[in-house]
Amino acid sequence: MTETTVPTIETNNGTAIPQLGFGVFRVDPARTAEIAGNALSVGYRHIDTAAGYHNEDGVGEAVRASGIARDDLWITTKLANGDQEHPEDAFQASLDALGLDHVDLYLIHWPLPAKGVYPQVWRSLISIAESGRARSIGVSNFQVEHLERIISETGVTPAVNQVELHVEFQQRELKAFHDAHGIATEAWYPLGGGTLSDAPQLRQIADAHGKTVAQVILRWHIQDGNIAIPKSNHRERMVENLDIFDFALSDDELRAIAALDKGEAGRRGTHPLKMG
């Protein structure tokens, strides 16, 4: 079992979240225990799942088999879109599937603004946090308008907003709002897909450091203050993605990566206003 060297970010409620985690989106439920177990064995201590991934039970199995103390792990799960009418029951179902008495972070997976119940859902998450069953609560795929509404209506600011974020979609306006309100920025799809490996600027930086393009991108996330959640079914890639703490990007390299931002044109996933 490998000791992790991943730095942490302190959230606005005082918890410390590992800045590099392992995601299980689209991981086969039948293989999740094996794959998440591999991630834990090579050094990850932060696992990100969701009710909508249908593999929470596999994550729980991996946690139990790992022998790692629960206090040394950070487990995130999310409220499925279809469960927004009964978040308390859905949360308990997630705990039961994971086989845990608490999670470290519970997120509203999507705001679903057309449904319009996300402020009430946020109040339910506040109650869940107050019960001690979630150490931190947050949101995913929320835009500024959604964040402003839940903060103004409840007085409670999310610890985290997990959003699509990669070098071609850097979400600078949203990140500025996060920074102003003490919200940690967590990146899903942090590597932005295989096409980025062909970007000459990234290849040049990678060659200069003797690293892969994926390692350069993940290092950029770390230095930019993001929490990154890469995924892989392959143990060697898991190890590679962790091997980013023995080099640093220069200011010039950071500027070159900043110039790759395409704004909204760089979005690869569904726009939050079009979900649900």
**Every domain of the chain and the residues it spans:** 8-265
**Which tokens go with 43?**
């050094």
218-227: pLDDT as tens digits: 999 999 999 9
2 vs 193: which has the higher pLDDT: 193
pLDDT at 3: 56
Q: With beta carbons less than 8 A apart as the criterion, state whether 159 and 125 touch.
A: no
User: Does 53 qualify as catalytic in the annotation?
Assistant: yes
Task: Provide the pairing of β-strand 8-10 with 16-18.
Answer: antiparallel
Predicted confidence (pLDDT) per residue in 81-138, tens digit = 999 999 999 999 999 999 999 999 999 999 999 999 999 999 999 999 999 999 999 9
Confidence category of residue 1, pLDDT binned at 50, 70, 90: very low
Identified catalytic residue from 53, 106, 118, 189:
53
pLDDT tens digit sequence for 149-163: 999 999 999 999 999
pTM reported for the whole predicted model: 0.96
Quote the tokens at residue 243: 């091997």
Q: Which pairing describes strands 184-188 and 160-164: parallel, antiparallel, or unpaired?
A: parallel
- What is the predicted pLDDT for the residue at 272? 95
Q: What is the CATH number of domain 8-265?
A: 3.20.20.100
Instruction: For 15-34, write each residue's pLDDT tens digit.
Output: 999 999 999 999 999 999 99
